[in-house]
């Protein structure tokens, strides 16, 4: 097994030190990150992409996410004049349909699927162990049964065979626990 890691999401802008400290607290080192994807281009999930690129981390971006970078950066710059924009030419653009083969080429057996409930550019990483890292797809107990967009995403993950879901802002939950 490689000691290189794939980061899923890239934290708030200006928080690289805290990101590194949090990695250290779980026994990892920031230098081990070789690749990164973000679940969507909101500042709490993609704010460190520019820092990652500067550190030599290969950042994958999915075609549907490209249009979301500029609005995120404009929002960040309103309150953070020192923010360094993402060098878009250094991003590796990937078609979502090619995600499995692109990730497999770097030794990661997983795929990415579009899960556009939270935002049009949201994606989910699904590992071969049938674990899903979903970004901002909340636990079902927080959702109404008639929220069609949410349940469409859950049905997609269920059809893919996902067993455990890891949202960014809530505890992990199991697919078997999800009912309308």
Q: How many domains does the chain have?
A: 1
What confidence tens digit (pLDDT) does each residue in 85-131 have?
999 999 999 999 999 999 999 999 999 999 999 999 999 999 999 99
- pLDDT for the residue 140: 86
Indicate the pTM of the whole model.
0.94
The answer to whether 40 touches 119, Cβ cutoff 8 Å, is yes
Domain holding 142, by residue range, is 5-177
d(CA 60, CA 45): 14
The three-state DSSP-derived secondary structure of 109-167 is CEEEEECCCCCCCCEEEEECCCEEEEECCCCHHHCCCCCHHHHHHHHHHHHCCCCEEEE
CATH number (domain holding residue 58): 3.60.15.10
Residues of the chain with pLDDT under 70: 1-2
């Amino acid at each position: 097994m490689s000691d290189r890691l794939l980061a899923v999401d890239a934290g708030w802008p200006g928080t690289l030190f805290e990101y590194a400290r949090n990695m250290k607290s779980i026994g990892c080192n920031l230098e081990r990150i070789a690749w990164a994807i973000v679940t969507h281009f909101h500042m709490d999930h993609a704010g460190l992409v520019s820092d990652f690129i500067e550190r030599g981390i290969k950042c994958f971006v999915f075609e549907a996410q490209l249009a979301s970078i500029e609005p995120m950066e404009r929002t960040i710059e309103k309150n953070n004049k020192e923010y360094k924009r993402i060098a878009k030419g250094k991003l590796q653009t990937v078609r979502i349909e090619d995600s499995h083969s692109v990730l497999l080429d770097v030794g990661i057996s997983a795929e990415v699927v579009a899960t556009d409930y939270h935002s049009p550019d949201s994606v989910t990483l699904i590992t071969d162990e049938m674990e899903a890292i979903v970004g901002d797809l909340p636990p079902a107990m927080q959702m109404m049964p008639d929220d069609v967009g949410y349940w469409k995403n859950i049905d997609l993950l269920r059809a893919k065979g996902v067993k455990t879901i890891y949202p960014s802002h809530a505890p992990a939950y199991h697919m078997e626990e999800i009912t309308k």
